[in-house]
Amino acid sequence: MSLVARHLEANGIPTVIIGAARDIVEHCGVARFLFVDFPLGNPCGEPDKIAMQRAIFSKSLELLEKAEGPNTTIRAPYDWSRGQGWKDLIFTKEQPFQDANEEREWKEKKVLYRKLKAEGKT
């Protein structure tokens, strides 16, 4: 996603990323980044919390307008309402990101991608 944002910026379209993986986005480097410190999947606010979603969306517009240079990160002023426990176990043996079926599917897709690539289709 950061690569797409960079390409748009380089070609005259201002962008803002609303995202949760701060280290990944900042490692790549983008013009404007609204960091929302939530679990992957809900960067634009918690489910069914419309006022929060509106505030986060407004913040992204504000960032579009006010950023003066590249690599501008703002942290949205919210913490996940059910505590910070979700941060402890992500991507560990106790709580792998993909379960066995998902990992199998992911590997199958990778094989499919390599096959298409070898055939010159991708």
Partner 1 sequence: MTHVRYIDRTREYYLSQGYDKPYRWAHFDKTPFTQLKKPLAESRVTLVSTSEIAVRNWDDQRTPLEKGEAANVYNVASDTPVEDLYSQTYDFDKHATTLDDVNTYFPITRMHEAAKAGYIGSVAPTLYGVYNAYSQRKTREIDAPEVLRRCRDEDVDLAILTPV
Could you say which residues in the range 77-116 bind partner 1, by CB under 8 A? 79-80, 82, 84, 86-87, 89-93, 95-98, 102, 105-106, 109-110, 112-113, 116
Number of residues that bind partner 1 (CB under 8 A): 81
CA 46 and chain centroid, separation:
15
Q: Which two tokens stand for residue 122?
A: 């991708």
Closest to 74 (Cα-Cα) out of 11, 25, 1: 25
Q: Is 74 in the site for partner 1 (CB under 8 A)?
A: no
By three-state DSSP, how is residue 111 classified?
helix
Q: Is 54 in the site for partner 1 (CB under 8 A)?
A: yes
Q: Which is nearer to partner 1, 74 or 122 (CB)?
A: 122
HSE, side-chain direction, 13 A CA sphere, residue 16: 23
Q: Is 51 in the site for partner 1 (CB under 8 A)?
A: no
What residues numbered 9-38 form the site for partner 1, per CB under 8 A? Answer: 9-25, 27-31, 35, 37-38
- Smallest distance, partner 1 to C-beta of residue 84, A: 5
Q: Which two tokens stand for residue 61?
A: 């517009």
Residue 64: other Cβ atoms inside 10 A = 14
- Smallest distance, partner 1 to C-beta of residue 75, A: 9
